[in-house]
Amino acid sequence: MLDPEFNHLKHRDLDWLNFNKRVLQEADDSDNPVYERLKFLAIFSSNLDEYFRVRVSQLRQIKRIKKSLRKKLALRPSKKVKEILREVSLQQQEFGAIFHDQIIPELAKNNIHLINDEDFTKKQQKEVDEFYHENIESYLEPQIVDFEKEKRIFIENNTIYYFVTFKGSKKVAFVNIPLNDHGRFYTFKETGDFYITFIDDIIRYKMPSVFSKEEITGIYEIKMSRDAELYIDDQYDGVLAEKIYDSLAQRTDGQPTRLLYDADMPKDFQKKLRKHLGLGKIDMMPGGRYHNFSDFFSFPNPGHNKDLVYEALKPIPHRELENSDNYFDSIRGKDMLVHFPYMSFSYVEKFIKKAANDPDVSAIKISFYRVADESNLTTSLLKALKNGKEVTVFIEAKARFDEENNITWGRKFEEKGAKVIYSYPKIKVHSKVFFVERTENGEKLRYAYIGTGNFNSETSKIYCDHGLFTASKKITKELERVFKVLEGDLIIPRAKNLLISPFNTRRDFTKLILQEIDYAKEGLEAKITAKMNSLEDPEIINLLYKASQSGVKVRLIIRGFTCLTAGMPKISENIYITSIIDRFLEHGRIYLFHNKGEEKMYFGSADWMTRNLDRRIEVLAPVMQEHVFNELKDILEIQLNDNQKARIQDASEENKYVKPKAGEEKIRSQYKIYEYLKEKHTA
């Protein structure tokens, strides 16, 4: 949907819903194994929770700022929230239909039955009684509330509760659904078919014993979402961001932003709940019997049936690094490219471990956006400190939802002697880089890694990312300057090769796009090909519109949302966009410019979003060695030709799949890339 308040720009929050609908399409795809379809429902639900906590929260908060400032921002937040809720309601109806009409019957075909308390047999009731008394009862915290006496009620963020009503009483009750070590589901101890129930249904079954003196008339599941911290400066320039923050200085953090409730709840109780929780009508979201579908990430597979999940892909051994005894020798010879999840993250871990134990290494510097829990990487850094090396760790203290863990690890590193630097106000460090200094034959040499994904071995198994090991003096010298900026020793890092936000990335991308426009005007072939997570920056989008109008062929792959509309006559008819949603989460960023046949390619951590160009420390590297260039371009070409999991992104917003033409090879890019890398690295 084009946003009339901007010049041919789609509203990012509305288009994000279009992205989440593509996730729902994967849950709807019967070609996917049933447990993978369940995971896509879990991803959809998890995405939506964060969306309400962050994006919808922001719109709701902006409603509270002065009208004069809202006009400057060209915002109509109430209208946007209503549009969002309409679309979310439609998607949730589709979600429910997929779950009940497709997933549940498919599980039953495989002898897995998801049952509720009304289905329990006498034997199962006895088993439930025993499990409840041993594992659940002591964790319940029922709260009796008198709506006539209590004006405000507080319930925890993202916690599931039962709202219980009683016959002949003005009192109601809230009962938490505790998810401890046993998780959300219980599998019955039976032979033959498998029977699974929600912990919720065990509590529902035992509710009469919780309120033995009352006659229960209704039990309805509810879940509250509360605001996350407001990240206004992600979207607006500094001056406007300051004004918005000043305007909202008195707001209450963590205020309610959405209540999911069982749609069977009587309307009079819906109204009372809304009033006592301090919600508006638009904050009430009807749902089904259960909430928190993100728990289906851990739905049990009691028979361990391999047909119900994707076949495991064995990590591809890197041709040079797999048998290398000395990564420094290997990388000094030529740049090395690794790809996750097709290859193991252990190559990154082994390099840091080698550096930590190498007597010739004097310094290790690394930037963390999201610090994993105890890992091989953190263990090696602590070992490096023990071995007397200078270790500098930059930690992004404001990585959304990971703040506490990041700071905890920062303190651990500090206690062991590392130089720990935390993020600056209004500037996030999103780059995924490390730097190693080593003395060889009396000379100090630098080694570096530049990637598109976080330093996290677990997420590397599901995120599609690329990483470059290099000893190139042109790259490592400039990366050293990036760390000097982080350490406060430099204000601006001079760079002729790297693109470093917020210093030269916008400037250099602008030059590269304008250059293609000039070539097109000269009648030469002109092309821009790019892959990213999201496209939002108005200046870049307007440049791409201008490029299209000048005859530049613009081909984009955008996994998430885009504020650019492709295929509009006379505006963007030379722009074609697809989005790939598949087994793994596409996360790499690659930018390719035709440059009169002398192609230029960059890859790294930055999307074409204002925050990534102007308000974050990002690093993108030029691809300088031919073998690396060819490998990345081959991978990009495979993705451009995906005709199984790619959806067309245009003004129709229908998420139509790209279909193979008659006689054309079927290309599912993630599997094709796996086969390509397997052949290339085992040849």
In terms of pLDDT, which residue wins out, 479 or 402? 479
Average pLDDT over residues 486-510: 95
Residue 69 has pLDDT above 90, yes or no: no
Q: What is the DSSP string of 14-79?
A: HHHHHHHHHHHHHHH-TTS-HHHHHHHHHHHHHHHHHHIIIIIHHHHHHTTS-HHHHHHTT--HHH
Average pLDDT over residues 292-307: 91
The 284-287 sheet, strands edge to edge: 143-146, 171-176, 160-166, 216-226, 256-262, 284-287
Please report the pLDDT score of residue 265 as a whole number.
95
Please report the pLDDT score of residue 375 as a whole number.
82
The backbone region for 147, taken as left when phi is positive above 0, alpha when psi lies in -120 to 50, beta otherwise, is alpha
What percent of the chain has pLDDT above 90? 71
Average pLDDT over residues 473-489: 94
What percent of the chain has pLDDT above 70? 90
Please report the pLDDT score of residue 46 as a whole number.
92
Is residue 75 very low, low, confident or very high in pLDDT (cuts 50, 70, 90)? low
Residue 249 has pLDDT above 60, yes or no: no
Residue 230 has pLDDT above 70, yes or no: no
In terms of pLDDT, which residue wins out, 256 or 175? 175
Please report the pLDDT score of residue 532 as a whole number.
98
Residue 3 has pLDDT above 70, yes or no: no
Residue 70 has pLDDT above 70, yes or no: no
Q: Which of 40-54, 250-264, 561-575 has the highest mean pLDDT?
A: 561-575
Question: By the 8 A CB rule, do 77 and 56 touch?
Answer: no
Residue 434 has pLDDT above 90, yes or no: yes
Please report the pLDDT score of residue 248 as a whole number.
43
Average pLDDT over residues 332-359: 96
Least confident of 159-168, 421-430, 512-521, 530-539: 421-430
Question: By the 8 A CB rule, do 448 and 498 touch?
Answer: no
Summarised one tens digit per residue, pLDDT across range 170-200 is 899 999 999 877 889 999 988 889 999 999 9
Least confident of 179-183, 233-237, 285-289, 510-514: 233-237
Please report the pLDDT score of residue 538 as a whole number.
95
All structural domains of the chain? 28-36+101-308 (3.30.1840.10), 327-491 (3.30.870.10), 501-682 (3.30.870.10)
The Cα–Cα gap between 447 and 69 comes to 49
Please classify residue 167 by burial: count the beta carbons closer than 10 Å to its beta carbon, then call 0-12 exposed, 13-18 middle and 19+ buried.
exposed
Cite the annotated binding site for Mg(2+) by residue number.
Answer: 370, 400
Q: Tell me the pTM.
A: 0.91
What angle, 0 to 180 degrees and rounded to 10, lies between the N-to-C axes of helices 122-135 and 199-210?
80
Average pLDDT over residues 337-354: 97
Specify the pairing of strand 361-368 against strand 390-395.
Answer: parallel
Q: Give 33's contacts (C-beta < 8 A, 6+ positions apart).
A: 307, 308, 309, 310
Cite the annotated binding site by residue number.
Answer: 47, 370, 400, 463, 559, 587
Cis peptide before 33 (omega within 30 of 0): no
Residue type, 575: I
Summarised one tens digit per residue, pLDDT across range 633-672 is 999 999 999 999 999 999 999 999 999 999 999 999 999 9
Please report the pLDDT score of residue 410 as a whole number.
80
Cis peptide before 300 (omega within 30 of 0): no
Summarised one tens digit per residue, pLDDT across range 12-48 is 999 999 999 999 999 999 999 999 999 999 999 999 9
Q: Which residues are catalytic?
A: 430
Task: Quote the DSSP letter at residue 487.
Answer: T
Residue 255 has pLDDT above 50, yes or no: yes
Beta strands in 227-360 (DSSP E): 256-262, 284-287, 336-340
Is residue 577 very low, low, confident or very high in pLDDT (cuts 50, 70, 90)? very high
The Cα–Cα gap between 195 and 127 comes to 12
Question: By the 8 A CB rule, do 381 and 364 touch?
Answer: yes
CA 182 to chain centre: 26
Question: Dihedrals φ, ψ of 510, to 5°?
Answer: -60, -45
Least confident of 96-100, 234-238, 294-298: 234-238
Summarised one tens digit per residue, pLDDT across range 120-149 is 999 999 999 999 999 999 999 999 998 888
In terms of pLDDT, which residue wins out, 146 or 562? 562
Please report the pLDDT score of residue 280 as a whole number.
81
Neighbours of 500 (CB within 10 A): 25
Summarised one tens digit per residue, pLDDT across range 608-638 is 999 999 989 999 999 999 999 999 999 999 9
Please report the pLDDT score of residue 682 as a whole number.
86
* Mean pLDDT for the chain overall: 89
Please report the pLDDT score of residue 61 as a whole number.
67
Q: Residue 218, SS3? A: strand
Question: By the 8 A CB rule, do 201 and 117 touch?
Answer: yes
Q: How far is CA 311 from CA 111, 219, 307, 462, 657, in A?
A: 20, 41, 8, 14, 24
Average pLDDT over residues 464-489: 95
Number of residues written out for the chain:
683
Please report the pLDDT score of residue 252 as a whole number.
42
Q: Residue 333, SS3? A: helix
Please report the pLDDT score of residue 304 as a whole number.
87
Q: For 140, what's the count of Cα atoms within 13 Å in the CB-facing half-sphere?
A: 23
The two three-digit tokens of residue 251, written as one number: 């707001």
The two three-digit tokens of residue 106, written as one number: 């498919």
Is residue 463 very low, low, confident or very high in pLDDT (cuts 50, 70, 90)? very high
Question: Dihedrals φ, ψ of 208, to 5°?
Answer: -60, -30
